[in-house]
Amino acid sequence: MEKRQELYAGKAKSVYTTDDPDLLVLQFRDDTSAFDGKKKEALARKGLVNNVFNAFIMERLEDAGIPTHFEKRLSSTESLVKKMEMIPVECVVRNIAAGGLVKRLGVEEGMTLTPPTFELFLKNDEKGDPMINESLAETFGWAKPEQLAKMKDLTFKVNHVLKQLFTEGGMLLVDYKLEFGIFNGQIVLGDEFSPDGCRLWDANTREKMDKDRFRQGLGGVIEAYEEVGRRIGINFPA
Ligand code: C5P
């Protein structure tokens, strides 16, 4: 497998073509951003930590029968993934109220959500990733109803697998965002799963162990990501 030219550079990852038209290289960079790119900083080791973290989670999800774009980890900061046609819709599940939900509805942070909520957002930085729904997604052609149904089903399957994994590590999976694409006509989980795209709290102290540490300027961002990883059995390279 040969890494070729850069196809796209996002806020935290870059994507490269390979000599196989069905495969891409994802490079996890140290760049960290929040508030639609308004807050930016490079955090040492973040690319490595998120790449190793994501590989571990994607393998667990595959083991549980959830199709993902992940093929294998190539280096400390690179992974090989399937080239998909991305669906520009972000799926968010919340088990506990925090972040955007608290802001929007004025509910108390930390409230347990029964049943967990499911929300859709349009992946569009310029418009600030606005909240959408199934009707808007269908009308504007962002995703078909049957694709949205599958995405919802898979997003909740991920909740089942990961809630258990993080609970065993003494943490609460508060919420997370997933992105999907189409590969060979099948809906497949894409992007990454790392503490950049979810909220994780210590189960006893409710200390934040995710990107909110960066958003809120709490410090110890990568130390917290590595602690999350260690608690679920990840050995990070030096
Ligand atoms: O900001 P909000 O509370 O709606 O985010 C819900 C979850 O989705 C959080 O875990 C957040 O990190 C994640 N998210 C993300 N990328 C976005 C929007 C939200 O990873 N563009």
Q: Is the pLDDT of residue 156 over 90?
A: yes
Cβ of 176 closer than 6 Å to ligand 1, yes or no, is yes
Cβ of 99 closer than 6 Å to ligand 1, yes or no, is yes
What is the model's pLDDT at position 217? 98
The pick from 33, 175, 215 for probing ligand 1's pocket by mutation, whose C-beta has the most ligand atoms within 8 angstroms, reads 175
Between helix 221-231 and helix 46-63 the angle, nearest 10°, is: 30
Return the CATH architecture of domain 85-219: 2-Layer Sandwich (3.30)
Cβ of 88 closer than 6 Å to ligand 1, yes or no, is no
When the pLDDT of each residue in the chain is averaged and rounded to a whole number, the result is 98
Atom 2 in ligand 1: which residue has the minimum CA distance? 100
What is the model's pLDDT at position 50? 98
**Gap from CA of 6 to ligand 1 centroid (Å):** 26
* Cβ–Cβ under 8 Å, residues 4 and 183: no
Best CA proximity match to 151, nearest among 179, 193, 110: 179
Q: Is the pLDDT of residue 106 over 90?
A: yes
What is the model's pLDDT at position 165? 98
Cβ of 197 closer than 6 Å to ligand 1, yes or no, is yes
Backbone φ, ψ for residue 129 (5° rounding): 45, 65
CB neighbour class for 184 (10 Å; exposed up to 12, middle 13-18, buried from 19):
exposed
What's the whole-number mean pLDDT along residues 6-35?
98
- Ligand 1 atom closest to the Cα of residue 99 is 3
Q: Is the pLDDT of residue 20 over 90?
A: yes
Atom 21 in ligand 1: which residue has the minimum CA distance? 129
What is the model's pLDDT at position 1? 86
Best CA proximity match to 158, nearest among 65, 42, 234: 65
Q: What CATH number is given for 3-82 in this structure?
A: 3.30.200.20
Q: Is the pTM of this model over 0.75?
A: yes
What is the model's pLDDT at position 227? 98
**Gap from CA of 130 to ligand 1 centroid (Å):** 12
What single letter denotes the amino acid at residue 203? A
What's the whole-number mean pLDDT along residues 175-187?
98
- Ligand 1 atom closest to the Cα of residue 197 is 20
Cβ of 148 closer than 6 Å to ligand 1, yes or no, is no
Place 183 in a pLDDT band, splitting at 50, 70 and 90: very high
Q: Is the pLDDT of residue 138 over 90?
A: yes
- Ligand 1 atom closest to the Cα of residue 123 is 21
What is the model's pLDDT at position 131? 98
- Ligand 1 atom closest to the Cα of residue 198 is 10
Cβ of 129 closer than 6 Å to ligand 1, yes or no, is yes
Domain ranges of the chain: 3-82, 85-219
What's the whole-number mean pLDDT along residues 210-227?
98
- Ligand 1 atom closest to the Cα of residue 212 is 12
Cβ of 177 closer than 6 Å to ligand 1, yes or no, is yes
**Residue 202 to residue 177: CA distance in whole angstroms:** 19
Tens-place pLDDT, residues 55-104: 999 999 999 999 999 999 999 999 999 999 999 999 999 999 999 999 99
Atom 7 in ligand 1: which residue has the minimum CA distance? 176
* Cβ–Cβ under 8 Å, residues 99 and 110: no
